[in-house]
Amino acid sequence: MKHSDFVYFDNAATTKPFISVTEKIAEAMNYNFGNASSGHALGVQAFRTLELARKEAKISISASEGDVFFTSSGTQANNLAILGAALANVRGRHKKAITCSTEHASVLNCFRELQTRDFEIVLLNPDRNGRIDCEQLDKEIDERTFFLSTMFVNNETGAISPVKTFKEIIDRKKKLYGKNIIFHVDAVQAFGKVHIDVTRLGVDLLSVSSHKIHGPKGIGFLYCSENVRIKPLIFGGSQEKSIHPGTEPIPLVVGFEEAIKQFKISQNFEYVTHLKNYFLEKLEKVGGMKLNSPSNSTPYILNFSIEGIKSEVMLNFLSSRKIFVSSASACSKGKRSHVLEAMGLDKSLIESSIRVSFSKFNTVEEIDILFDEIRNARSIILKF
């Protein structure tokens, strides 16, 4: 299906790759296919390409120190951060880990795995706007706590975590208890969309994915500060300092690097903000519309409900018109949104929730098409 044949508003699930990304990947597959661990000229070329991409990745998050480990996805980066840190740093009774109940499945399921290994797990619940009460977090961090994980931008509502404030709480607790508390941030929905400075934010571990910023699927990275140790979850050779062994996929790394270079943060942010505001102005004219995203959410994601119309019905109606949106995270296919449940929304709102997520490739004309079909769906469906 050609892009001109449909309207795509599911960019929080994945994005259309830049043309230059697919070209760079094809070029690397044809001419830079060597193994970066090989000692011959083709291997050396691949290794140099890999290290240049790693340098670009570090620059993209303003990392002056620490390591960037390429992974196969944001999910794998989250697993490596959480389980790898637990294996490397936990001793004795310091086995308490804290996160939020609205996190991505790749974080929540890691925490469930920690629980099976006798870790104490705390899931903080947000308010109606998806915000975590900082006083609640302050109260939960005690002398047993070794780890805090938070999502920078929520993938379903676009709610933004107060990462800087969380870090200030952690630093105060470190001084109080005289022990290190590792701070992990899942930045999959934030990377490339807001300026990230890991040094200024004080982040120890940061997870990133390529295909959310018009790069290829199958590649992401984990940033690890020099103050934190992690252990590998898989074992093999010495690639990625043995933290994530396996032959590096140079074409995907090259594609990721190109996406980072092409993604203009400030320019895209301004443009997408315009799109979201334009859509909101129109959407407010639809009867029974309830906004689920907080007012200060990222411009890239908008979550709302049309009362009386279940998500599945609306999605099928729009899909029949070749308009693609979603109802929740792509990783929770077929399930009700755990994010909206944690926020305390009514069951009817959860069951009718729609997530529209924008990109630089969307247009005002596409928003007009989406709005008209949502209005048509409401008038048609509610007649029955």
Q: Is 331 a catalytic residue?
A: yes
Helix axes 364-381, 265-283, angle to 10 degrees: 30
The closest of 109, 107, 167 to 141, measured between CA atoms, is 167
Contacts of 148 by beta carbon, 8 Å cutoff, 6+ apart: 97, 98, 99, 137, 141, 166, 170, 181, 182, 183, 184
From the list 110, 134, 224, 331, the catalytic residue is 331
Q: How far is CA 141 from CA 22, 137, 150, 173, in A?
A: 45, 6, 14, 7
Backbone angles phi, psi at 243, to 5 degrees: -75, -35
Greatest C-alpha distance within the chain: 70
Contacts of 1 by beta carbon, 8 Å cutoff, 6+ apart: 322
Distance CA(57)–CA(187), nearest Å, equals 13
Q: Which two tokens stand for residue 88?
A: 């490397």
Give, rounded to a whole angstrom, the gap between the first and last alpha carbons of the chain: 32
Contacts of 228 by beta carbon, 8 Å cutoff, 6+ apart: 85, 89, 182, 204, 205
Q: Which two tokens stand for residue 229?
A: 């140790």
Distance CA(81)–CA(90), nearest Å, equals 13
- Give the number of other Cβ atoms within 10 Å of residue 378's Cβ: 20
Residues serving a catalytic function are: 331
